[in-house]
């Protein structure tokens, strides 16, 4: 085993780490949007919206992330092509990175739907009523009363989803994305030193999870009720 070989590959692995982190962050962004829409759909009480959200969360809960990613990358292009042809659009390519972000966002949006819905339900009704009785409009109530509370109650669940999401980025390498895992896999096989490369990847992921833990601990402290325990 030759540890030194890793040094030559540090620039490559760093490039992969940047791809992995961007994938995770953009995936989280999309997941947050989908999760908020999903929660809104469920809370709206509308029958169609509720059924759509249920279908969405059922698919995600039933299918492994690896299968969904393969399906979105290969099947998604067919969908994009069909929709594109319908509207007479030029060929639009669903890139590997794009497919990765879509998959990760799609999967974890379903979990965040539940996190957000749960957090919203925890907000005491009295607070909203109190705000209204003070003459605040619906939007002002949402913005100054509901959302800050929502953030507080949703944070632990959100942190949990993020930690699982980060690990999920590894499977996107299966569609040939040159992320940390994909590049380490290629390099490890080329120089026949897979052990050292995969060990490096493990250390990198441990580092990601550790850093995220610190950040979320900080946030939870900041959003905790002053003088009370966190959510």
Partner 1 sequence: MRVDLVLQNWELFAGGVWVTAQLTFLSLFFGFCIALPCGLARARRVGWASPLINGYVYLFRGTPLLVQTYLIYYGLSQFEFIRDSWAWIFLREAWWCALIAFTLNSGAYATEIIRGAVETTPKGETEAATALGLAPRQVTWLVLIPSALRRALPQYGNEVVFMLHGSAVASVITIQDILGAGRTLNARYYVAYEGFITAALLYMAITFTLVMIFRQLEKRYLRHLNIRPAKKSHAIPA
Partner 2 sequence: MKRITMAAAAAMTLAGAAQAADLKICVEGAYPPFSETSASGEVVGFDIDIANALCADMGKECEMVKTDWDGIIPALLEKKCDAIIASMSITDERKQVIDFSEKYYNTPARFVGKEGMTADDLAGKTVGVQRGTIHQDFMEGEFGDVELKLYGSQDEAYLDLVAGRVDALMADSIAILDGFLNTDNGAGFAFFGDSYSIPEYHGNGAGVGVRKEDTELRDAITASIKAIRDSGEYESINGKYFDFDIYGG
Contacts with partner 1 by CB under 8 A lie at 1, 57, 59, 61-68, 70-71, 74-75, 77-78, 110-111, 113-114, 160-161, 163-164, 167-171, 173-174, 181, 185, 188-189, 192-195, 198-199, 201-202, 205-206, 209-210
Interacting partner of 85 out of partner 1, partner 2, none (Cβ under 5 to 8 A depending on kind) = none
HSE of 199 in the Cβ direction (CA atoms, 13 Å)?
A: 8
At closest approach, how far in Å is the CB of 183 from partner 2? 7
Binding partner of residue 30 among partner 2, partner 1, none, CB cut-off 5 to 8 Å per kind: partner 2
- Out of partner 2, partner 1, none, what residue 162 binds, judged by CB under 5 to 8 A for its kind, is none
Of 30 and 201, CB closest to partner 1: 201
Cβ at position 47, least distance to partner 1 in Å: 20
136-170 exposure pattern, b = at least 16 Cβ within 10 A, e = fewer:
beeeebeeebbeebbebbbbebbbebbeebbebbb
| Cβ neighbours for 22, distance < 8 A, ≥ 6 positions apart | 97
Interacting residue ranges for partner 2, rule: CB under 8 A: 8-9, 12, 15, 30, 52, 56, 73-74, 76-81, 83, 91-95, 97-98, 101-102, 105-106, 175-176, 178, 183, 186-187, 189-190, 192, 194
CA distance 105 to 33: 9
Query: Using CB distances below 5 to 8 A depending on partner kind, what does residue 177 bind out of partner 1, partner 2, none?
Result: none
61 binds, among partner 1, partner 2, none (CB under 5 to 8 A by kind): partner 1
5: its two tokens: 């070989």
Q: Distance (Å, rounded) from C-alpha 188 to C-alpha 194? A: 4
Burial 91-109, CB ≥16 within 10 A → b, else e: eeebebbbbbbbbbbbbbb
């Amino acid at each position: 085993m030759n540890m030194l070989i890793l040094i030559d590959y540090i620039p490559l692995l760093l490039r992969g780490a940047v791809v992995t982190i961007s994938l995770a962050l953009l995936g989280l962004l999309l997941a947050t949007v989908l999760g908020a829409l999903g929660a809104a759909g469920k809370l709206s009480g509308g029958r169609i919206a509720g059924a759509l959200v249920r279908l969405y969360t059922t698919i995600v809960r039933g299918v492994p992330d690896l299968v969904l990613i393969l399906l979105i990358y290969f099947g998604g292009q067919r969908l994009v092509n069909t929709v594109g042809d319908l509207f007479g659009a030029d060929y639009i390519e669903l890139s590997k990175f794009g497919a990765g972000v879509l998959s990760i966002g799609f999967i974890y949006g379903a979990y965040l739907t539940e996190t957000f819905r749960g957090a919203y339900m925890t907000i005491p009704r009295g607070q909203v009523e109190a705000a209204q009785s003070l003459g605040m409009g619906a939007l002002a109530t949402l913005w100054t009363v509901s959302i800050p509370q929502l953030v507080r109650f949703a944070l632990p669940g959100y942190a949990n989803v993020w930690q699982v999401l980060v690990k999920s980025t590894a499977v996107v390498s299966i569609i040939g994305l040159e992320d940390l895992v994909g590049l380490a896999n290629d390099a490890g096989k080329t120089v026949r030193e897979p052990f050292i490369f995969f060990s490096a990847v493990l250390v990198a992921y441990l580092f990601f999870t550790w850093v995220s833990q610190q950040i979320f601990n900080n946030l939870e402290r900041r959003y905790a009720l002053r003088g009370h325990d966190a959510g």
